[in-house]
Amino acid sequence: MPYINLRVAGELSREQKQQIVAEFTATMVRVANKPAEYVIVTIDESPLQDWGWGGELLDQAE
Amino acid sequence: MPYINLRVAGELSREQKQQIVAEFTATMVRVANKPAEYVIVTIDESPLQDWGWGGELLDQAE
Amino acid sequence: MPYINLRVAGELSREQKQQIVAEFTATMVRVANKPAEYVIVTIDESPLQDWGWGGELLDQAE
Amino acid sequence: MPYINLRVAGELSREQKQQIVAEFTATMVRVANKPAEYVIVTIDESPLQDWGWGGELLDQAE
Amino acid sequence: MPYINLRVAGELSREQKQQIVAEFTATMVRVANKPAEYVIVTIDESPLQDWGWGGELLDQAE
Amino acid sequence: MPYINLRVAGELSREQKQQIVAEFTATMVRVANKPAEYVIVTIDESPLQDWGWGGELLDQAE
């Protein structure tokens, strides 16, 4: 029953999401012996304005 | 001080949200003896493209 | 695919956890038309020292 | 490596987000001796319809 | 209704937790005009073995 | 700045955690072009008694 939440700054394409879900799931199957059908992944895409790092918003660093 | 986060794939109507919040809160009051005014619920509606299950995105299963 | 995380201050008995999981799941089935076998619940029990409310730790209020 | 997630009901301006990130980071540096460059903050702005409190949605209280 | 979750690698003393909760709450009151009694903070202390950064566990870096 | 939280039912060995962190990080680098030093992973190991699935606690299924 692994549950994985991925939060990224910015956006991912559908192809990237599909590849990430496939690889994270394969890792859990291979490394932790979890059945693939128990592996759940959710993805949150946050605007750069909603991430802070080192005391600044990420959209400042650009 | 229970804090409940509900994440669903797809959307809920306002009526569904209201009913879920009312029932989750009633459960916490009845089963765990928490005062209703301490029960907080947040709801996240995620697109099907942002959920993976069994190594595939949920929008593939449709 | 609803995923519910419940965080409580203090502890719950196994019977309380079972009852809460059963009722939250029943709510999602009845109100949101989700199949019961897709409803996942996780529970986190936090010490009172690890909750703040109104600027104070919860263990101060006792 | 502190990771802070802030969830608010409603919206914040960019100036509020910047100020909050700066102050949360300063607190972690001063109180917990964490280097500023290790402090990560993410912000989620939720519609009032997606918060429940005391068994009601927040948009009912208005 | 701000809800803040702080996750740290390692442990904090009770005095540090109290100070962090007081300061985070004061920030939300001052910057975002939230009433102090609506500000909730939860703290999770994770072992260094349960954090990865740059592809390594934090306990490797010591 | 990807942040990944993995929650598993039961426990993982240190070797499994290290392998999972290495592989998740490699996936984010290869698929999403994120620098490895920006990829953060946290792991939560939950007792089976704290997971519900299909309306039952996971420790009932054993």
pLDDT tens digits, residue range F27-54? Answer: 999 999 999 999 999 999 999 999 999 9
Cα gap A50→D14, rounded to integer Å: 9
For residue C60, the model assigns a pLDDT of 79
Query: How close F17 comes to chain E (CA, Å)?
Result: 7
Per run of 10 residues, the mean pLDDT along chain E (length 62 residues) is 96 98 98 96 97 94 50
The superfamily (CATH) of domain F3-47 is: Macrophage Migration Inhibitory Factor (3.30.429.10)
* ipTM of this complex prediction, to 2 decimal places: 0.94
pLDDT the model gives residue C31:
98
Quote helix, strand, coil % in chain C, to nearest 5: 45, 30, 25
Residue B39 has pLDDT above 60, yes or no: yes
Structure tokens at E9: 């690698």
Interface of chain F toward chain C, CB-CB under 8 angstroms: 7, 46, 49-57, 60
User: Shortest CB distance from D55 goes to which of B14, B26, B43?
Assistant: B26
What is the length of chain D?
62
The band of F61, judged by pLDDT with boundaries at 50, 70 and 90, is: low
Task: State the Cα–Cα distance between residues B1 and C47, nearest whole angstrom.
Answer: 11
Q: E43 pairs with which residues across the strands?
A: E6
The shortest C-alpha distance from D38 to chain B (Å) reads 27
Q: Buried (b) or exposed (e) across E12-44, using 16+ Cβ within 10 A?
A: beeebbbbbbbbbbebbbebbebeeebbbbbbb
**What percentage of chain A carries pLDDT values higher than 70?**
97
**D43, D27 in Cβ contact below 8 A?**
no
Question: Across chain A, how many H-helices and E-strands are there?
Answer: 1, 4
- The domains of chain F are located at 3-47
pLDDT in tens, chain D (62 residues): 899 999 999 999 999 999 999 999 999 999 999 999 999 999 999 999 999 999 999 997 54
Sheet of B56-57, strand order = B56-57, B51-53, A40-46, A3-9, F3-9, F40-46, E51-53, E56-57
Which ranges of D1-62 does DSSP label H, i.e. alpha helix? Answer: 14-32
CA F31-F4-F15 angle, to 5 degrees, is 95
Taking the C-alpha atoms of residue D27 and residue D33, their distance in angstroms, rounded to an integer, is 9
Q: What is the pLDDT of residue D24?
A: 98
F42 to E51: CB separation less than 8 angstroms, yes or no: yes
What does the pLDDT read at residue B53? 96
Q: Which two tokens stand for residue C17?
A: 């956890």
| Touch between E and C (at least 3 CB pairs under 8 Å) | yes
Chains that touch E (3 or more CB pairs under 8 A): B, C, D, F
Residues of A in contact with D21 (CB under 8 A): 52, 55-57
Is the pLDDT at B28 greater than 60? The verdict is yes
Q: Is the pLDDT of residue A27 over 90?
A: yes
CATH class of C3-48: alpha beta
Whose CA is closest to B44, among A14, D49, F19?
D49
* pLDDT score recorded for residue D1: 84
> Rounded to an integer, what distance in angstroms lies between the CA atom of residue A21 and that of residue A13?
12
pLDDT at residue C48 above 70? yes
Higher pLDDT, B49 or C60: B49
Q: Do chains F and B touch (3 or more CB pairs under 8 A)?
A: no
SS (H, E, C) chain C: CCEEEEEEECCCCHHHHHHHHHHHHHHHHHHHCCCHHHCEEEEEEECHHHEEECCEEHHHCC
Q: Which residue of F has its CA nearest to D4?
A: F3
pLDDT confidence bin for B1, thresholds 50/70/90: confident
Residue C61 pLDDT: 53
pLDDT-derived band at A61 (thresholds 50, 70, 90) equals low
Query: 């920006």: which residue's tokens?
Result: F38
Q: What CATH class does E3-49 carry?
A: alpha beta
CA dihedral B37, B9, A5, A60 (to 10 degrees): -90
* Helix, strand and coil in chain F, % to nearest 5: 45, 30, 25
How far out from the chain centre does Cα B6 lie?
3
Fold classification of D3-60 is Macrophage Migration Inhibitory Factor (3.30.429)
